[in-house]
């Protein structure tokens, strides 16, 4: 039963790691694209003679990204195409994409074109016609399959993105190392739990283990011997854990008809047991005044 439970936990944990790594990769790709698009927007403004205005936050709309500008500007399609193409090549973004220049107030597409992997798939109309100064946003949609992006630092510096194999290899290696350590930890916990559960003489009491055969308390690397009466008293309390046990019941089960106890003998033994559980505040022996005692083990 324990093996099946830990196998299930291990499988769930591995699935979580894979899902998490995929989500992180997608998040990083989008952040890299946003950084590249901000650089693209700044270059477009510089081409129009504006070196002061800001690029507003990049918006992701389904499979598209929208670059928003703080100020109005005019542009020449030929220069716009060259600027966008240069940034795409420098930052390693997908080379198949559609660009739309949208008028802010009317949301009308004032200019658009498509770029592909080859000259035959490029559609760039009216390259020489100047577009008047106005409020525009640029909508770019990537239609090619996703490729690994350059690092954020490379995007900022404008370093050309040459190869994705090294990035992918490092990511896969780190993921494998993480999985190995995680599975190793699960195996260790399973073995530790199996060791504890396979010995019928060991009773778990919080962080402690009660060795009924050797009448000892085990806590980390420590072993504390119990007297016969202390062991019997602890066993009586454990059998009714989190439940009140009346004094008369305890006295009868632990001392019976021996008659070798006085009025406060039970209280003395309870006090001794409490001191032996000081290492774990979750284990308490409570005095229910006028009734008896209760062993409480907090979860």
Q: Which pLDDT band holds residue 157 (cuts at 50, 70, 90)?
A: very low
Residue pair 295/237 in contact (Cβ under 8 Å)? The answer is yes
Residue pair 26/34 in contact (Cβ under 8 Å)? The answer is no
The DSSP 8-state label assigned to residue 123 in this structure reads: B
pLDDT at site 268? 92
Backbone angles phi, psi at 111, to 5 degrees: -160, 145
| pLDDT tens digits along 242-262 | 999 999 999 889 888 765 666
Structure tokens at 215: 């009448």
Residues 6+ apart with CB under 8 A from 230: 215, 269, 272, 273
Average pLDDT over residues 104-109: 92
Residue pair 217/209 in contact (Cβ under 8 Å)? The answer is yes
pLDDT at site 200? 81
pLDDT at site 16? 52
User: What are the structural domains of the chain?
Assistant: 2-172 (no CATH), 202-297 (1.10.10.10)
Question: Taking the model in full, what pTM does it have?
Answer: 0.41
Classify residue 85 as left (phi > 0), alpha (psi -120 to 50) or beta: alpha
Average pLDDT over residues 210-229: 92
CA distance 224 to 277: 10
CA distance 46 to 245: 84
Average pLDDT over residues 155-182: 60
**Which of 199 and 52 is assigned the larger pLDDT?**
52
**What rounded mean pLDDT belongs to the chain?**
79
Average pLDDT over residues 262-289: 90
**Which of 187 and 247 is assigned the larger pLDDT?**
247
- Could you tell me what percent of the chain has a pLDDT over 90? 47
Kindly state the helix (H) or strand (E) to which residue 171 belongs, with its residue range. helix 165-198
């Amino acid at each position: 039963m324990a093996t099946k439970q830990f196998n299930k936990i291990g499988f769930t944990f591995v699935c979580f790691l894979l899902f998490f790594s995929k989500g992180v990769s997608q998040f990083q790709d989008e952040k890299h694209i946003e950084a590249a698009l901000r650089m693209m927007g700044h270059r477009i403004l510089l081409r129009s003679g504006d070196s002061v205005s800001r690029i507003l936050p990049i918006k992701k709309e389904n499979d598209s990204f929208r670059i928003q500008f703080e100020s109005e500007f005019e542009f020449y399609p030929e220069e716009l195409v060259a600027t966008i193409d240069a940034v795409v090549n420098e930052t390693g973004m997908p080379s198949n994409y559609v660009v739309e220049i949208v008028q802010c107030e009317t949301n009308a597409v004032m200019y658009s074109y498509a770029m592909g992997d080859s000259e035959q798939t490029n559609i760039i109309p009216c390259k020489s016609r100047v577009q008047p100064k106005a409020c525009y946003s640029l909508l770019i949609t990537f239609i090619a399959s996703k490729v690994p992006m350059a690092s954020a630092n490379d995007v900022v510096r404008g370093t050309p993105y040459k190869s994705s194999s090294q990035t992918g290899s490092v990511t896969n290696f780190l993921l494998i190392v993480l999985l190995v350590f995680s599975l190793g930890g699960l195996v260790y916990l399973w073995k530790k739990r199996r060791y504890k559960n396979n010995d019928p003489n060991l009773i778990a009491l919080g962080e402690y283990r009660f060795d009924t055969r050797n009448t000892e308390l085990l806590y980390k690397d420590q072993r504390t011997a119990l007297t016969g009466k202390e062991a019997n008293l602890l066993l009586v309390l454990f059998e009714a854990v989190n439940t009140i046990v009346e004094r008369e019941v305890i006295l009868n089960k632990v001392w019976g008809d021996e008659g070798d106890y006085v009025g406060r003998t039970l209280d003395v033994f309870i006090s001794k047991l409490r001191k032996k559980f000081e290492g774990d505040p979750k284990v308490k022996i409570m005095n229910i005044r006028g009734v008896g005692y209760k062993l409480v083990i907090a979860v």
